[in-house]
Amino acid sequence: MKTTAIFLVSMMMSALTFGQTNPQFQTADGQQSASIYKYVREHINCPRENSICFHPGTEVIAFVVTSTGELEDFRVVNSVSKQMDEEMIRVLKETSGSWQPGLLKGEPVKTEYEVAMAFIPSNFDPVQEAKKHLINGNSLIYKNPRRALKFINEAYRLLPCCESVLVARSVCKAELGDVLGAREDCDRIIALKNAYSPEFPSHLMGYGK
């Protein structure tokens, strides 16, 4: 069944090289740009148990658009639930072959993209809720980093594209000795900065609804 809890759909490029042109999703009638958002909204099916029981959060799926417009290398960046991981990937796979590839110096190249969908029930402010978790986590980073990480991960579940959350999580992981995890969060911050455009919703960046 379709759920009314789907708050928004957004797409971004997670790694942008200077001079590179973004891939474009193209529907059967040749429409481009925001049509991918409409396509995902209209084709995703939320399992009944998800629409009732899921925790509020933002599902983020990354994939690669090949030089021929096919999609491959799907991976879950942030999960609302296992069922929604599978459903988002299923819908995105349907669009494989319907993309114009990214261009670098005029030549088609592989490009990684992300699609993010926030599942937010009515009367719930994910930004304010994430801020509460982040404040709690920040106060514990150097006192009890393991406990701090639990709070920060809750903030990340809601706002996985928010720089403040990623910075705090990176520092916390470093305190716990997880150098690789800390570096991955830093790399994501850089990728998000490169990918940011006016089309990307400020809600997911943590700047307000």
The closest of 143, 42, 128, 40 to 92, measured between CA atoms, is 40
Does domain 126-205 correspond to CATH entry 1.25.40.10?
Answer: yes
* H or E segment to which residue 155 belongs: helix 145-158
Q: Answer whether 6-119 and 126-205 agree in fold.
A: no
Predicted local distance difference test score (pLDDT) of residue 26:
82
- Domain spans, the chain: 6-119, 126-205
CA geometry: angle 15, 105, 29, nearest 5 deg: 75
Which pLDDT belongs to residue 64?
93
The predicted structure's pLDDT at residue 7: 45
What fold does the segment set 6-119 form as a domain?
Answer: 3.30.1150
pLDDT at 71: 96
**Which portions of the chain are predicted below pLDDT 50?**
1-17, 52, 196-201, 207-209
Tens digits of per-residue pLDDT, 78-110?
998 888 899 999 999 999 999 989 888 889 999
Backbone phi, psi, residue 38, to 5° = -60, -40
* Per-residue buried b or exposed e for 27-53, using 16+ beta carbons within 10 Å of the residue's own CB: eeeeeeeebbbebbeeebebbeebbee
